[in-house]
Amino acid sequence: MKNKHIFILFTFVLLLFTACENNTTTSDVLYQCPMKCEGDKTYSKQENCPVCNMKLMPLKDKEEKVLEDPNYISDASIFNLTSSWKTQNNKEITLKDLKGEILVVCMIYTTCQAACPRLVADMRNIYGKVPHENINFVLVSIDPENDTPEKLKAFAKENELEDEFWTLLTSNEDNVRELSNVLSVKYKKINPLDFSHSNIITVFNPQGELYFQQEGLGVDNSDLIKKIKELK
Amino acid sequence: MFKKLEMHIKKVLLFPILCMFFLGYGQEKTNMKLIKGGYFVPLYGNDSLVTKVSDFYLDTYLVTQADYLNFVKQNDKYAKDKIIKLFADANYLQKWESNLNPGAEINLKAPVTNVSWYAAKEYCATQGKRLPTIYEWEYAAMASETAKNAQRDSLFNHKIIASYEKPKTYKKSVGSTYKNYWGVYDMHGLVWEWTSDFNAVMISGESRKDKDTDKDLFCGSASVNASNLMDYAAFMRYAFRGSIKANYCIQNLGFRCASSK
């Protein structure tokens, strides 16, 4: 009697087990390392990542969704931010208005003497090395108090950032803080005219998902350019 | 007939006027305390050593698990399963059982933790408030039970350090530590707190790349430049702020809201 019970239990467990197995192998869900150790490589089973040993996460079928719905914005897209901005031409926009183009973004302020001119030079350097179609080079001011659209316009002129591929943005302290957090840029006002800030250039794909970041001034930008070309 | 109407209008008008009177002169908002501004020397300030903080209001208590549950009920975008990746990492409300149920393990009177900066910011915004700045927070937090500025009170500093060493204080109810000079509870002793400009603390993985003098902050030599050698606890707070990102959801990191006067 007891044996029978055990037998039933055993088969039940076995069934459960095989049912699970079936589930994972027959489903079409693909798995990927959350850290993307191997780039976009996917697996059909939920194993551990061979590089970092983290559990692979199921991939959402976002590719399909993009095709289905032109207004689709993924979870990780900066177009989820609803903040409103003013351009150097005093045009009011939200970040979503920049959708569809590769964005190359950095944060600056126009009265900056030290790092910003070099950061802008880096941006122009990148600008000079890639074909411009479908790219938007975006400079965001961290000094909303001083950097009015007029100031940005003048700054663009001074630095020869005048064609349609450059967008300069200003908003308010709150919105700038939020965007700086999305870009992992740290900044701090140290006196009425000066900020310290990290020097990071960020590349977003046309869906607004962070694709690549370059840290530092005057660094070798060949990786960043390679990444932009990948997106094209 | 007209007289009656007049009376009615008077009554209707009187109410908001009375309300304004009490709000204006009572100098206290519901569940907030007025922090009288002033000058102070933050551990890590700007060019001029002394920093000015204007009058502001600060929540008497940290935002609790129960408060946050209410918020989620009204803003389902911030539910555990629904919050978008951009705004929170995978640890968001990690210990909650489900979207609208924190579960039996959670003390509803404890401060809400495992919330990101974006979520905290949105919570305050829905209340018509905002997160306090680092300066505001540090200014309010340097008050002991009896003094506005206890930065030089070694006993007070010692207590703060001791509280950092206690494990699992995030599980305690709000109001369970001390009430400071301003009437605000638990500025030290329960959890770390989000500030609006936490990312103004400039240390990155590769701090040599930051255009900044702050890179020295955490080296041995920095302590010589620090404005207040006593306040080792502040070092820890600044180091913590410098090490986190806005989407991080951490077990011992909560928040309270502020508003300008």
> Per-domain residue ranges for chain B?
1-28, 31-260
Extended strands (E) in chain A:
31-32, 57-58, 84-87, 92-94, 102-108, 135-141, 166-170, 187-191, 194-197, 200-204, 210-215
Q: Hey, is the C-beta of A182 within 8 angstroms of any chain B C-beta?
A: yes
H and E: helices and strands count for chain B: 7, 7
pLDDT tens, position by position, A8-17? 555 554 544 5
- Answer whether B198's CB lies under 8 Å from B134's CB: yes
Structure-token pair, residue A154: 């003048």
Average pLDDT rounded to a whole number, residues A48-72? 71
- Answer whether A46's CB lies under 8 Å from A30's CB: no
Q: Hey, is the C-beta of B82 within 8 angstroms of any chain A C-beta?
A: no
Search chain B and give the residue with CA nearest A216. Answer: B209
Phi, psi of A213 (to 5 degrees): -130, 140
Q: Taking CB atoms and an 8 Å cutoff, what residues of chain A touch B87?
A: 80
Residue A32: the pLDDT is 82
Rounded to 5°, angle at Cα A173 from A167 and A179: 55
- Answer whether B247's CB lies under 8 Å from B88's CB: yes
| Best residue of B47, B48, B86 to probe chain A, by most A CBs closer than 10 Å | B86
Mark yes or no for CB contact B86/A182 under 8 Å: yes
- Say which residues have a Cβ less than 8 Å from residue A201's Cβ, sequence separation at least 6: A104, A105, A106, A119, A122, A123, A126, A213, A214, A221, A224
Residue type, A112: C
Extended strands (E) in A63-141:
84-87, 92-94, 102-108, 135-141
Name the residue facing A181 among B199, B211, B242 (closest C-beta). B199
Domains in chain A with CATH codes: 25-59 (no CATH), 78-231 (3.40.30.10)
Closest CA of chain B from A190, distance in Å: 4
Mark yes or no for CB contact A186/B200 under 8 Å: yes
How many CB atoms lie under 10 A from the CB of residue A87?
19
Query: According to the CATH classification, is domain B31-260 in 3.40.50.1100?
Result: no
| Best residue of A179, A198, A201 to probe chain B, by most B CBs closer than 10 Å | A198
Q: Hey, is the C-beta of B20 within 8 angstroms of any chain A C-beta?
A: no
Q: Hey, is the C-beta of B128 within 8 angstroms of any chain A C-beta?
A: no
Residue A162: the pLDDT is 93
Closest CA of chain B from A188, distance in Å: 5
Search chain B and give the residue with CA nearest A178. Answer: B118
Mark yes or no for CB contact B86/A77 under 8 Å: yes
Average of per-residue pLDDT values in chain B: 84
- Answer whether A198's CB lies under 8 Å from A186's CB: yes
Name the residue facing A188 among B84, B202, B209 (closest C-beta). B202
Average of per-residue pLDDT values in chain A: 85
Q: Virtual CA dihedral for A96, A97, A103, A108, nearest 10 degrees?
A: -90
Q: Is the pTM of this model over 0.80?
A: no
Q: Taking CB atoms and an 8 Å cutoff, what residues of chain B touch A194?
A: 47
Residue A50: the pLDDT is 83
- The more confidently predicted of residues B49 and A152 is A152
pLDDT tens, position by position, A185-196? 999 988 888 888
Q: Taking CB atoms and an 8 Å cutoff, what residues of chain A touch B199?
A: 177, 180-181, 185-187
Mark yes or no for CB contact A215/B118 under 8 Å: no
pLDDT by residue for chain B (261 residues), tens digit each? 455 555 555 555 555 444 444 444 444 578 999 999 999 988 777 666 789 999 999 999 999 999 999 999 999 999 999 999 999 999 999 999 999 999 999 999 999 999 999 999 999 999 999 999 999 999 999 999 999 999 888 889 889 989 989 999 999 999 999 999 999 999 999 999 999 999 998 754 444 444 444 443 343 334 444 555 557 888 889 889 999 999 999 999 999 999 999
Tell me, what's the ipTM? 0.80
